Amino acid sequence: MKILLIGRYGEGEIVAGPERVARELYCELKNQNHQVVFFEYFFSGYKNSSFHKKLFGFEVSNNSIYTLGIVPLVRKLVKEKFEIIHIINSQRFILVLFLVRWIIKSKLVATLHGFIRYEIPESKFWKKKYFLDLLVEKFIVFKCDLIVFPSNLLCATFTNYYKISKDIYKIIPNGVSDIYFNNTSIIPKIKHSIKLIFYNGFTGAINKGIDELLMLLSNINFKIEIYILGKRSVINASNNVEVNFVGMMDHPDLINFYRDKHFVIKSPAFEPFSIFVAECMSVGLIPILNENVGISDFIEHEVNGFIYQSKSQSTFTDLFERILSNKYDLDLISTNAKKIQEQLNWKSVTSKYTSEYEVVV
């Protein structure tokens, strides 16, 4: 089967979630000896990007990753006759694919990682041209042969809004990189403070809800240390909360950074999945999140993590009171959290994708 993954592969080692999914799936397809190539674009911000290259550029790496301008992209799409074209993350240049859809006979598969209306503030919608992302989203929903969602939460959000037929979508979760396996440790005892990790995103385009989370934490009668990875932002924290911005790290540094922390926490904000939480769990951190986070599909309350009600301050406060009163065996919950590796590894996830490819073709 001749497979094309198309989307953003990203530059450097540290990339956002959708690009990490693209890399992991592509590499695992190669490992499983599938005939696969990757097409991406000369995105603004890439070190070799220019107007000319966005139109006519053509570069290919030793690993069959093509970076193409619009004209070479159209030629390759028409010439190569891929059986499966998988839109692995939504990018604006993919609009070209739908313009030539009538010429090519490939089956189109798309993985959707988010929902524009829920995640992008209206104030940024027109200014940042997010309406183009909405256009891509609509083409995917109405023109693809198969749509993949990483969680029941995102699936329900899309199907309720677009009324998508059950025949054209599947739920396949994202995986955890192998580098996190066999790097587990026992979480430290809670002594003078609770140490939390929070991911604030790459760019700040999507509101991760840090202000709302800090408001919830202000009602905890104990010292909280929260370590924020990603975008720095102006925040207001109460006296009991110590805020530390630590920036982004590569995988090995992250694993070491996690070792003296207790929990990975999410705000009440909508989040379609969260690879970050899955990775934290795989090394033993205990998740604290709510029903608005897609990875809650894999969390059993008080077994391998904690789920609080997003609209209830009391459930959040009560949870921390029970933790501080030693009502839980945190070592056991941490051990159970690590078992996420058994479900969310890329070998298993890729096998689910290839099974769906075969059905579509």
- Averages of pLDDT over each 10 residues, the chain, 361 residues: 96 89 96 96 92 95 91 95 96 94 93 84 62 90 95 93 89 93 81 94 80 92 93 79 89 90 94 94 95 95 95 91 94 94 94 96 89
Burial 203-222 (b: 16+ CB within 10 A, else e): eeebbbbbeebbbbbeebee
pLDDT of residue 344: 94
If asked whether residues 186 and 217 sit together in one domain, one would say yes
Number of domains forming the structure of the chain: 2
If asked whether residues 271 and 288 sit together in one domain, one would say yes
Neighbours of 51 (CB within 10 A): 11
If asked whether residues 145 and 202 sit together in one domain, one would say no
pLDDT of residue 279: 93
If asked whether residues 299 and 352 sit together in one domain, one would say no
If asked whether residues 212 and 167 sit together in one domain, one would say no
Q: What is the CATH number of the domain that holds 85?
A: 3.40.50.2000
pLDDT of residue 312: 84
If asked whether residues 200 and 67 sit together in one domain, one would say no
Q: Which range of residues forms the domain containing residue 47? A: 2-175+345-360
Neighbours of 34 (CB within 10 A): 17
pLDDT of residue 181: 85
If asked whether residues 308 and 322 sit together in one domain, one would say yes
Q: How many residues does the chain have?
A: 361
pLDDT of residue 125: 56
If asked whether residues 351 and 331 sit together in one domain, one would say no
If asked whether residues 339 and 349 sit together in one domain, one would say no
The helix (run of H) or strand (run of E) holding residue 194 is: strand 194-199
If asked whether residues 213 and 73 sit together in one domain, one would say no
What is the value of pTM for the model shown? 0.92
| CA angle, residues 197, 202, 203, in degrees to nearest 5 | 130
The helix (run of H) or strand (run of E) holding residue 132 is: helix 130-143
If asked whether residues 245 and 260 sit together in one domain, one would say yes
pLDDT of residue 319: 96
If asked whether residues 22 and 159 sit together in one domain, one would say yes
